[in-house]
Structure 1
């Protein structure tokens, strides 16, 4: 008995239909990067919404500084802080800058906790368009919080009699705070990836905060300091954020060529202070880029 097996040619040459394959984007573009950054930023704001104590404390503390320090030195001689300026008005610029600085210095803590709880590892193995969206999302989150705190402090200072700069002056304050927060946030994120745990990061934050505050012009003018401290304060990026903002409160006819401070070696203009802050932020980004590339690899 002969059995004939008939095999159709189409069965032998069968291939899966390419139209059913899922397309894979090997070169993700700007749209994917923006989408990832938005999602990661939204996650941080959801955490803030669930635990708003960080923002509340970040607003109450500088208000207490502004009120208590202003009251402490209210009987200081007129002109002691320059041109009839009382201490409450003098302190406003320092509180604005220091609050933004302190918040930016804590920017690495959420990333460090994500490292310790394993969430960061999940992000690093996920098919992200760019792992730098993790860093950008953290920066956007901290900058937004800093602007909220700055608005509250400016409003409180105006209520206490410090006055209010015009719209151009407020825009200049926003630019100065943005540049300072950008650089300090990058520094904090670099520390979050470099240090072994959150205990070490918190220790570094505690060690840096008060020395940078007292070695700046936030609490006292440069001329009031001894010579060695004047040199240290002139190297402190906080000073180059404080003095332009203070100048905005004193003079309504300011310009980029206005001299805002006299360091031991050179006079610094308004535009020069902004360039120094820009250079500081760029220097920090250049310094942490190799570290981030190694961690993200």
Structure 2
């Protein structure tokens, strides 16, 4: 036999285990943007979703404005035209509806198995799945809001100032984050899309009519005033309505007269911030159980 065969074989030196670098904020942002891009690719393949999302609130604005055009002058308590009054309600309800439906794509991903593929992928953070849904809904709400502002402006409602527009976007972002979190929580908690759609149908319209989107508080019965004044939608609608009517606004401005007292602009924004915080905290156990 040759010397090479008779020579003792040196055992290979065990390699050091690969150490994975901890996830960074950049990794999380990259994953979130990639998953958001996937949602926009789906939207590009089904552009009718975007068209319907823009046309529907415009139909609400035009048809409801025409329906109440001949309403009594004291219906709104001042010389405000109903079209001016309605614009804020349509903007907020459109953003709310989009955020409420944000759980449906996640539910369909669950049912078709795509979510399982994401869960076994080496993601830096599985919360990027939630962040992508929130970013997509906020982008859609921005497009819808711009369309509603332009159309309502040409219908005589006027245009907000730049500072007012910035605060409007902040208010909508807080509402969208809060409702998107709750919708995603339902998507992970309910067994299927039939149950999720049933819950959304039950919640959607009652929250609209139990808010100040279509009528002022003074026009409602006492029991409904208390519900509408506690409705998070009213805390978004009334500040936006105020920003339309008052070019020079201040944080201490009174925007809603609730049954228990006056509500200022900063209280509405703080209430929405609290609503978003509570929603995010409330879904944490569901996310940990479902996403691991």
Q: Could you tell me the TM-score, scaled by structure 2's length? A: 0.96
RMSD between superposed Cα atoms in Å: 1.6
Map of 2:61 onto structure 1: 66
Tell me whether 1:159 sits opposite 2:157 in the alignment: no
2:96 is matched with which residue: 71, 90, 101? 101
Name the counterpart of 1:220: 215
TM-score, with length taken from structure 1: 0.94
Provide the residue aligned with 1:148 in structure 2: 143
Shift of 1:137: 0.6
Please state how far the C-alpha of 1:14 moved relative to its aligned partner.
Answer: 3.8
Task: After TM superposition, list the pairs within 5 Å mapping 1:98-137 onto structure 2.
Answer: 98-137=93-132
Deviations 1:168-212 (A, max 9, x none): 010011011101011000010000000000001101111001100
Classify the secondary structure of the residue corresponding to 2:256. Answer: strand
The partner residue of 1:28 within 23, 30, 44 is 23
User: Are the equivalent residues in 2 in contact too, given 1:79–1:85 (CA < 8 A)?
Assistant: no
Does the 8 A contact of 2:75 with 2:219 survive in 1? Answer: no
Pairing partner for 1:236 from 228, 231, 235:
231
Moved more, 49-58 or 222-231: 49-58
Alignment correspondent of 2:269? 274
| Aligned residue in 2 for 1:287 | 282
Q: Secondary structure at the match of 2:236?
A: helix
Query: 1:218 is paired with a residue of what secondary structure?
Result: coil
CA distance in 1, matches of 2:75, 2:206: 24
Q: Which residue does 2:10 correspond to in 1?
A: 12
Distance 1:39 1:154 in 2: 30
What is the CA distance between 1:116 and its match in structure 2? 0.1
Aligned equivalents of 1:4, 1:119: Cα separation in 2 = 57
Q: For 1:120-144, what per-residue CA distance to the aligned partner results, in whole angstroms no more than 9, with x for missing partners?
A: 0111111111111100111101111
2:200 equivalent to 1:202: no
Distance 1:188 1:65 in 2: 24
Once residues 280 and 260 of structure 1 are traced to their aligned partners in structure 2, the CA distance between those partners, rounded to angstroms, is 18
Change (3 A) 1:119 1:253: same
Work out the CA distance in 2 between the residues paired with 1:250 and 1:4.
Answer: 97
Unaligned runs of 5+ in 1: none
SS in 2 for 1:83: coil
What is the match of residue 261 of structure 1? 256
Alignment of 1:176-187 (within 5 A): 176-187=171-182
Tell me how far apart the structure 2 counterparts of residues 14 and 118 of structure 1 sit (CA, whole Å): 42
- Partner residue, 1:191: 186
Which moves more between the two structures, 207-216 or 70-79? 70-79
Q: Would you identify which runs of 4 or more consecutive aligned residues in structure 1 move more than 4 Å?
A: 3-9
